[in-house]
A and B are shown apart, each in its own frame.
Chain A
Amino acid sequence: MALYSETVMDHFRNPRNVGVIEDADGVGEVGNAKCGDIMKIYLKIENDIVKDVKFETFGCGSAIASSSMATEMIKGKPLKEVLSLTNKAVVEALGGLPAHKLHCSVLAEEAVKAALKDYYDKKGISYDKSLFPDCASCCHCDSGCAL
């Protein structure tokens, strides 16, 4: 199908890092079923490095591909780099997404950061709140993403 790039289809057909980490250090879940996509990211963190990452996604092809790509982009990376992950970078790595699917990359970024935030909260580590997007501020459920 020409709807998606080859890279998107590859990550959709063979998603990387699918699954659950039972003793995860941080878990983030964003989106809702009403809108048709939910992403859940599990992080295992050691020495400020993402030792392992897994995801579960309910959603369309681009949602699954975006989660897969985002997990690949943060695996083995220091938390500083995880914090600087952007949805744009996810889209670029995927070779682009159709305009009406860009919100999937936003969700992927949000899910990763929600998991990291969960880790910081659990560990009582202070952080700059402005670096974390607020899911409630996203408008894609109502009127399409403003991106």
Chain B
Amino acid sequence: MIYLDNAATTKISKTALEAMLPYYEEIYGNPSSLHTAGQRAAEALLEARTRMARLLSCAPNELYFTSGGSEADNQALLTAAAIGAKKGKKHIVSTAFEHHAVLHTLKKLEKEGFEVTLLDVHEEGIVSPLQVKNAIREDTCLVSVMYANNEIGTIQPIKEIGAVCREKGVLFHTDAVQAAGHLHIDVKEQSIDMLSLSAHKFHGPKGVGALYVRRGIPLSILIEGGAQERGKRAGTENLPAIVGMATAFEESCAAMDESAKRLSALRDRLIDGLSDIPHSALNGDRFRRLPSNVSFCFEGIEGESLLLLLDDKGICASSGSACTSGSLDPSHVLLSIGRVHDVAHGSLRLTLSEENTKEEVEYTIKAVKDTVAYLRSISPIWRDLVTGKKEFILK
């Protein structure tokens, strides 16, 4: 099996898995318990928090463990909204291609009387700091811009956007789910007020994530109950997963530069190989993208059938985001970069990890070429395009 869906989720690292196991079998106490077993767990919890905080350049008590990226996004947005509402500031700036964890929370806030401005991300899939600056108003309480896009992998100018927000005195949140463990993050240097991350995107376990919140920002509570996470997130901590996340994060960050170099080379070969397919287009900026991300549109075919046939050839890929695969509508991300519906349906996302090899990349290029050619041969749209009845959209 060739696994090329690492933006959906990753295989857990062996080191992380091994680090987790003692917290199921030996150090299984509840960190809130006063006895020795509990206190050993509490120490491990603090240690994990400290290890992660160091890598993000924040203080351990600025980091809150959550069930994952979606929860962190929800909590960050609702926090900023609550702070804004108290001051009568009910305007939020974000982008058109955020993850649904952000977009759907914004929809909910709109129903509660907030006004949301979604910035255009242009054909290259990148928002500019100037756009953010121009969109900020007197009543803006939050700017939320994702660090790197989950479908097309484009990287946003986070530091510059952070500087704009700091200067304007507006809270800045970034959904760094695709970036954490893969791109350098320094919340202080990048003027980030809140940041969401998820462990399973960097070879950690599923069901755990974190929210960084700059000291002094009063965090809203989503889950009421016990006093865990300094009273801001109730529920017994998932200690094995948290330890696994911290271990995987350290490992990913340590290998980051080396890995980026290797993955970029594989990515570029994939992009070059797939660009040979006529009437296809790379989605998002060629260079300002995650080292692991390749996203294409192929005219005249539909993405699901491409995925199923690639699966038959042993390749696990994705068409846009896995979260939307139950829907008939094409990806909002592809529409946001100006792909028309007809073309957006024919999308393919390949996302690499350290485990992928050059041989796998070559095999994949050939498999995609063959499959696209086959699907085009049975497509009535393709016939109309090649016989000139219809005009090609992708030249």
Contacts and interface: CB of A to CB of B under 8 A. Distances in A.
Interface of A: 1, 9, 12-13, 15, 18-20, 29, 33-40, 56-61, 63-64, 100, 103, 140, 144
Interface string B352-395: 00000000000000000000000000111111000000000000
A60 B378 contact: no
A63 to B, nearest CB: 7
A64 B305 contact: yes
Contact of B312 (A13, A19, A58, A100): A13
Contact of A61 (B308, B327, B330, B383): B308
Contacts of A61: 304-305, 308
Given A33-B342, A100-B326, A100-B328, A58 B304 contact: no
Given A1-B308, A100-B326, A144-B328, A64 B342 contact: no
Given A1-B308, A12-B305, A34-B341, A56 B380 contact: yes
B308 A38 contact: no
Interface string B326-345: 11101000000000011001
Contacts of A100: 326-328
Contact of A38 (B305, B326, B380): B380
A99 to B, nearest CB: 10
Contacts of B304: 60-61
B284 interface: no
Contact of A15 (B328, B378, B381): B378
B314 to A, nearest CB: 13
Interface residues of B, number: 23
B301 interface: yes
Interface string B291-309: 0000000001111110011
A57 B328 contact: no
Given A18-B378, A35-B328, A64-B305, A56 B342 contact: no
Contacts of A58: 300-302, 379-382
A12 B378 CA distance: 12
Contact of A59 (B305, B330, B382): B305
A56 B379 contact: yes
A59 B302 contact: yes
Nearest to A33: B342
A100 B326 CA distance: 7
A33 B345 contact: yes
A65 B301 CA distance: 15
Nearest to A62: B304
Contacts of B311: 1
Contacts of B305: 12, 59-61, 63-64
Given A1-B308, A33-B342, A33-B345, A38 B381 contact: yes
A140 B328 CA distance: 9
Contacts of B381: 33, 38, 58
